[in-house]
Amino acid sequence: CPSPADLRSINGTRVCAQLYTDDSPYYDQCCAGDVLVVLPDSDVPYVPYTWAGRVSSLVVGTKCELTVWSRAAKKGSKKSFNA
């Protein structure tokens, strides 16, 4: 997995989080598969339909916090992640 300080897009802009579909009990094989990039100051009440129930690992950048909810439209229980 990339380190939180190394999260950058291809063009070098800052990324606050990356979510991945594939995971593994072996750390060097985590953070694989499809990637969903979360940009700074994003407020997304719905994850793309094809991502529902698929996130298995994530990395949150420094000075960022990712808050997720168990249900769509910011309903249900919530959990926050940071670097």
Q: Read off the pLDDT of residues 57-77 as tens digits, 9 standing for 90 and up.
A: 899 999 999 999 988 889 999
- Nearest alpha-carbon partner for 19 in 62, 73, 63, 68: 68
Alpha carbon distance 24, 76 (integer Å) = 28
- Nearest alpha-carbon partner for 34 in 11, 56, 16: 56
Domain boundaries, the chain: 17-82
Region 20-36: mean pLDDT is: 86
The arrangement of strands across the sheet holding 17-22 comes to: 32-38, 17-22, 57-60
Q: How confident is the model at residue 52 (pLDDT cuts 50, 70, 90)?
A: confident
Q: Which two tokens stand for residue 5?
A: 């300080």
Q: Which two tokens stand for residue 8?
A: 């950058």
